[in-house]
């Protein structure tokens, strides 16, 4: 068991307050992964100062050279993938197959952004005047303040860090208190790859350092992933300083199952979409909206599969679903099970916490399915972030789309159908940032934009080249080589 400090300016630094917190395995709370520094405002000050001091030299390093460091980092992540995946499973509970995927996402993003070291394309366009040249280039913004959740403990930090770094920004990142280790592992790989001290700084802890970072006068760009409630606070903290503010927040994603769907495929998708990561994905398929003519058949097969899922410690390769992240999250799930029952939703399976035998020392809960839900019920509208899926019967594609769009979130949706007309109609009509055909609501790749509409996002996108827009400013440059004053819009 190790004690970790903040990582500031390439050094381990104790919390200014002297306070620490424990990081325990949510599948077995007897297992202590480490003791971490409890961050507060002075720690954020020190980290921002280190990032500010590192900015001029990092910005001046040619982007392809920054890309080479990222490329080496990706190679290290490949080599250490298994070790980092195990750490991630131990700190947040999802099964090893999924944490391997989490590290793989970080690898994909790091290679992708390494390549952007030789791209970062701007425009060159003809001028309306003779002997005049014009182009646009990206500039870094400065110190980027990054705030991450715990459900993708290495992937999400990488989605924010790598685009920020390739553009020449320096970074202060505040991981979620449940998963500080995976962010420190990512920084270890970057440092091993040759990242200069102070270019990335990690301050661990909870809401206080997060809020300090979001409001800090010397942090002109903030990228946040987490709940809509916290995102609103971050947005408000950024607004008065006109900061770049990128928010990825909650979801209530939907799978539409049409009367002509391949039902076996739809059930596979609903099980993976609903119970993967114990339902704790922003893109989790927490609603299935099913045509009445196949509703009974679909729900019966879905419930059988949900009931058969093996729940346990994610390090056991036979386990299919891990625990919830912490006690508060399990209590939230238990609260929603009660809400669903009180609202008159039909509990088809699950509904109980698992607290005995192999589940005694973890935050486990049964995979749970509510049936016959009305679209207006809270369990069918609000983000639960646990292994609870609400099934809503509908009579037509139009009704399915209306129910799908009726929530306050707009991250991901999918349709199961063999009818190309239905697929294209739903693709056009669903007001979400991500849409799938004959696949569940999860499965995003790093080279397409990622993000959502309504209460899920604020108009920006993560991943792909769109991520570069969050962490850069455009500069438009005009070079007049006519030797005379030429007036745009006035001279012929």
Summarize as ranges the residues that interact with ligand NAD (CB under 6 A).
147-151, 174, 176-177, 206-207, 210-211, 214, 225-227, 230, 233-234, 248-251, 282, 383, 385, 411, 452, 456
Q: What is the dihedral of CA 168, 169, 171, 176, to 10 degrees?
A: -100
Inter-residue contact 363 to 354 (CB < 8 Å): no
Output the smallest distance, CB 130 to ligand NAD, in A.
49
Q: What are 354's two structure tokens?
A: 């698992």
Q: Hey, what's the torsion of the CAs at 23, 24, 26, 29, to 10 degrees?
A: -160
The CB-of-477 to ligand NAD minimum distance in angstroms stands at: 34
Nearer to ligand NAD among residue 58 and residue 224 (C-beta):
224
**Alpha-carbon distance 392 to 387, whole Å?**
17
Question: Residue 7: which of 173, 203, 140 has the closest Cα?
Answer: 203
Q: How many CA atoms lie within 13 A of 363 on its CB side?
A: 24
Euclidean distance between CA atoms 267 and 460, whole angstroms: 32
90-to-28, 76, 218 alpha-carbon distances in Å: 9, 21, 35
Which residues fall within 8 angstroms of residue 314, CB to CB, at 6 or more apart?
27, 89, 93, 94, 95, 96, 98, 99, 322, 323
> Closer to ligand NAD at the Cβ: 20 or 134?
20
CA distance 279 to 273: 8
CB 246 within 8 A of CB 470: yes
Nearest approach, Cβ of residue 129 and ligand NAD (Å): 45
The residue (of 252 and 422) whose beta carbon lies closer to ligand NAD is 252
The closest of 253, 257, 276, 279 to 266, measured between CA atoms, is 257
Q: Which residues pair with 347 in a beta bridge?
A: 370
Q: 65: burial class by Cβ within 10 Å (0-12, 13-18, 19+)? A: exposed
C-beta closer to ligand NAD: residue 251 or 274: 251
d(CA 492, CA 486): 9
Sign of the C-alpha dihedral computed for residues 385, 387, 388 and 393 taken in this order: positive
Looking at the annotation, which residues are catalytic?
248, 282
In the complex, minimum distance from the CB of residue 478 to ligand NAD, in angstroms, rounded to a whole number: 38
Considering beta carbons, is residue 51 or 325 the nearer one to ligand NAD? 325
List beta partners, residue 364: 354
Q: Determine the 3-state secondary structure of 63 from DSSP.
A: helix
User: Residue 121 Cβ, how far from ligand NAD at the closest point, in Å?
Assistant: 26
Question: Least Å distance between CB 62 and ligand NAD?
Answer: 31
Q: Which is nearer to ligand NAD, 10 or 206 (CB)?
A: 206
Nearest distance in Å: CB 273, ligand NAD:
14
CA–CA gap between residue 114 and residue 186 (Å, rounded): 15
- The nearer residue to ligand NAD, 176 or 380, going by C-beta atoms, is 176
Smallest gap from residue 241 Cβ to ligand NAD (A): 15
Toward ligand NAD, which CB reaches closer, 230 or 417? 230
DSSP 295: H
């Amino acid at each position: 068991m190790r004690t970790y400090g903040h990582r500031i300016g390439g050094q381990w630094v104790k919390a200014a307050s002297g306070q620490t917190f424990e990081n325990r395995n949510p599948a077995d709370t007897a297992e202590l992964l480490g003791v971490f520094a409890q961050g507060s405002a002075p720690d954020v000050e020190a980290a921002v100062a280190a990032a500010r001091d590192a900015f001029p030299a990092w910005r001046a390093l040619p982007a392809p050279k920054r890309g080479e460091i990222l490329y080496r980092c990706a190679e290290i992540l490949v080599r250490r993938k298994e070790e980092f995946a195990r750490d991630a499973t131990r700190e947040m509970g999802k099964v090893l197959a999924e944490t391997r995927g989490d590290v793989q996402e970080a690898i994909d993003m790091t290679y992708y952004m390494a390549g952007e070291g030789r791209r970062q394309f701007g425009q060159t366009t003809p001028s309306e005047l003779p002997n005049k040249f014009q182009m646009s280039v990206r500039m870094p913004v400065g110190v980027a303040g990054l705030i991450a959740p715990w459900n993708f403990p290495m992937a999400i930090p990488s989605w924010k860090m790598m685009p920020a770094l390739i553009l020449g920004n320096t970074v202060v990142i505040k991981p979620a208190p449940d998963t500080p280790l995976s962010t420190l592992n990512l920084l270890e790989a970057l440092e091993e790859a040759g990242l200069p001290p102070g270019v990335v700084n990690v301050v661990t802890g909870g809401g206080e350092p997060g809020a300090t970072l979001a409001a800090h006068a010397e942090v002109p760009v903030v990228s946040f992933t987490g709940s809509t409630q916290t995102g609103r606070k971050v947005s408000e903290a950024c607004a008065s300083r006109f900061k770049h503010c990128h928010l990825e927040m909650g979801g209530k994603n939907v799978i539409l199952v049409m009367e002509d769907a391949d039902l076996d495929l739809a059930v596979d998708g609903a099980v993976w979409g609903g119970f993967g990561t114990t339902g704790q994905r922003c893109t989790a398929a927490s609603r299935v909206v099913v045509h009445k003519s196949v509703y009974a058949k679909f729900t019966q097969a879905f419930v059988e599969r949900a009931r058969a899922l093996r729940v346990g410690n994610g390090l056991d390769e036979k386990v299919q679903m891990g625990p919830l992240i912490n006690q508060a999250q399990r209590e939230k799930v238990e609260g929603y099970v009660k809400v669903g029952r009180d609202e008159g939703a039909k509990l088809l399976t699950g509904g109980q916490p698992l607290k005995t035998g192999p589940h005694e020392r973890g935050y486990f809960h049964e995979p749970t399915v509510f049936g016959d839900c009305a679209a207006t019920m809270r369990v069918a509208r609000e983000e639960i972030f646990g292994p609870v899926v609400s099934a809503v019967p509908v009579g037509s594609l139009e009704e399915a789309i209306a129910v799908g769009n009726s929530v306050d979130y707009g991250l991901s949706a999918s349709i199961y159908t063999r009818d190309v007309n239905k697929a294209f109609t739903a693709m056009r009509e669903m007001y979400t940032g991500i849409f799938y055909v004959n696949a569940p609501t999860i499965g995003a790749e790093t080279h397409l934009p990622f993000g959502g509409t309504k209460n899920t996002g604020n108009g920006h996108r993560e991943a792909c080249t769109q991520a570069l827009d969050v962490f850069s400013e455009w500069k438009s440059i005009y070079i007049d080589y006519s030797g005379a004053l030429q007036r745009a819009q006035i001279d012929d």
